[in-house]
Chain A
Amino acid sequence: MTIRQIFHLCASIGLVSLVLVSFNNCSEHKPIGSSLNSLGPATTIQSSSKEQYYSLQSGGQLAHSMASVTGVEITTGIVNEYNARKALMSDNYAITSMNAPMLVAITNLASQYCGELVNKESKLTAPQRRFFNDIDFTKGTAAHNSEKILKVTDKMATLMLGRKLEGEERQIFIDSYADFTATLTGGAATSNASTRALLLYNCSSILSSFDFVTI
């Protein structure tokens, strides 16, 4: 093969590669393990229900998940809340089993973990905190504008859900900030309790969101 032929061959392979690489992102999402060649050709699993592709976490899973993402110690308060609510949680992973009492139970459990998280981080110096390093725990919401709270909430979402807040979610948190601060009267907005309550609210919202309770 001459130098010219090799040149031709390489250029041709390159063009094919370019097409393949360039259009890769337009193809359907390639699932995990698709590069695993030792298992041979993929077969299609016959599932009885599409709904089960979203799996709802059981009570035990949620309790462990919440502990995992918040990194808080499991306190007696958390254990008691879990024991009181676990019968209401999913026992079959089916998304169709979700109901109102279950959502209330999940939110209550989330609030326990989030309460511990706020307590824990409020005792640390700002650089030591994982979630709330932009927050001044000695001050009320008056010292934390919507933008700052949104930034902290975005960080929570990133650490807890593995992604940033999306458009509609951001708007919900902006609206809820406005609603929350509008209810504060007298000196409540300058009391540090209001900051803790707002963080508790936002954290509990994330831990009881669809993205979090499914796996």
Chain B
Amino acid sequence: MNTKRTVLYIIGFLAIILAPIHGAEASGIDAEVEAKRLLERLAATKVPADHPLIPKMKSEIEKGRWYPAADLAMTHPGFLNVTVKQMALKMSTREETIQQDFNDFAAFFVGLVRDDLDARQLLTGNFQYIGDASRAPAGVTIRSEYDTHIVRSNDHFRDMDRLNIDLSRMLVKKSGQMLLQTQTNSLIYNPDPAGVLTSRTFMMSQAAAGTNRRPVEYTFREFMCAPIETWADTSASDARIGRDIDRHPGGDHTKFQVSCKGCHTGMDGFRGAFAKWDIGNGFILNRDIQVNAQGVPQGGVSNKLNANSNVFAAGFVTTDNSFVNNAMGSANYTKFGWRSNSTSGYGVKDFAGMVANSKRFSECMVKRVFESVCRRELSIEDNLNFVKEHALKFEEKGYNIKSLYALVSVTPECVE
């Protein structure tokens, strides 16, 4: 064996021996940096370099166990108090901003994530989350009179919107959703509960004035990540379009056919689901629990569903809370990925169940979580492989939002 070859052999063996040491050292240094970055990303909060979670996360990362590291990060109070809360606030009203008071929609969202519930219950759950005032820090008052501060106003939730309140400790799950029966001034269980869609905040924002098309539009916008213009379909049936929509805008029927109709086929098909809903002075109303002065149930639908009936008298008259799914054209069928029993139904709960069980709902949650934790926009259409892959994993994990956060937060795509 010549000298040159011997030297090469020695270097080769030294490399084998030293490589793992080098790797461990390198990963040790990176692991600490990556642990801090992951923690800050999930908690949406800067943390001190000596934060106690960092060594634990570092240890997991060094073993290549990124999901347990993410799980540890999600125990930081910032995850629920900032990351999830801000995502929920943005979805809760028309303004789509985080610059608004904490509310019952966001409380529901935060509580559901904390308790590892199936995300579909965001739209179908018959419960709500409220604050336990006894858990408030000393000196902080949370107004908690159910009728006054929860049903008739946002006071209860606004009082919880304080820096020193930890929502993960404050929120408690309460079965059922209560609504006001105005004639008797009493609280009655919601006959058509549908998670956050029948929250005071969502309804006050989306069912205020108008003709109850907006609750449909925003359900799709927030939970299907589908603004109305992206699923307008002029080829669908116009049989459900209301009497208040002009079929000859500006004297031109073509304009209706090629433009107006596109959005209204979908919206008007679904809006019957919200036919019983309206708002009062600071509270939300469901027609089915209202009675007249003699105690006789009012029944019927909200007047606004059939408002402006002389615009096109031959249009559809809403008489109950039935709805039909007109977003079944080939493009929309593919886009939304409807699953069983998605052609028609009654009330918000049926409508919400249909949305929550679609493939698109899971894909939208991937988008929401990605944007929440990675802090940049994600187009579903431009990133279909990524979105579909994670939506599938999300469903396999029982629609657990925390698992989705863990999945998404450690992907290369999140930090590239």
Binding site for B on A (CB under 8 A): 7, 10-15, 17-18, 21, 24-25, 31-36, 39-40, 42-49, 52-53, 55, 57-61, 63-69, 71, 73-74, 78-79, 82, 86-87, 89, 91-93, 158-160, 162, 212, 215
Contacts and interface: CB of A to CB of B under 8 A. Distances in A.
Contact of B46 (A32, A36, A212): A212
A44 B298 CA distance: 56
Contact of A69 (B16, B44, B47, B382): B47
Given A35-B64, A46-B379, A86 B99 contact: yes
A139 B244 CA distance: 78
Interface string B31-64: 0011011101100111111110000000000001
Return the 10 tightest CB-CB contacts between A and B, nearest first: A14-B12, A55-B375, A11-B12, A18-B15, A33-B410, A65-B46, A46-B382, A52-B376, A14-B15, A14-B16
A46 B377 CA distance: 8
B13 interface: yes
Given A49-B377, A53-B376, A91-B98, A44 B44 contact: no
A18 B19 contact: yes
Contacts of A17: 15-16, 19
A32 B73 CA distance: 14
A33 B376 contact: no
Contacts of B33: 162
B375 A34 contact: no
Interface in B47-106: 47-51, 64, 66, 78, 81-82, 85-86, 97-99
Contacts of B46: 57, 65-66, 68-69, 160, 212, 215
B410 A15 contact: no
A215 B385 CA distance: 27
B412 A32 contact: yes
11 contacts: A10-B16, A31-B414, A34-B412, A36-B410, A43-B413, A57-B46, A58-B98, A60-B163, A64-B163, A68-B51, A162-B49
Contacts of B15: 14-15, 17-18, 21
Contact of B81 (A32, A36, A64, A69): A64
Contacts of B82: 60-61, 64
A58 B86 contact: yes
B26 A10 contact: no
A209 to B, nearest CB: 11
B208 to A, nearest CB: 22
A27 to B, nearest CB: 12
B48 A52 contact: no
B180 interface: no
Interface residues of B, number: 60
B66 A36 contact: yes
B325 to A, nearest CB: 30
B415 interface: yes
A25, A33, A36, A57 interface centre (most CB from chain B within 10 Å):
A33
B99 A36 contact: no
Nearest to B102: A60
Contact of B412 (A7, A31, A71, A86): A31
B12 A13 contact: yes
Nearest to B370: A45
Contacts of A7: 9
Contacts of A33: 66, 409-412, 414-415
A192 to B, nearest CB: 26
B293 interface: no
A61 B45 contact: yes
B253 interface: no
Given A32-B34, A64-B81, A91 B12 contact: no
Given A43-B386, A48-B379, A64-B163, A10 B411 contact: no
B145 interface: no
Contact of A71 (B19, B48, B375): B48
A52 B389 contact: no
B61 to A, nearest CB: 8
Contacts of B295: none
B162 interface: yes
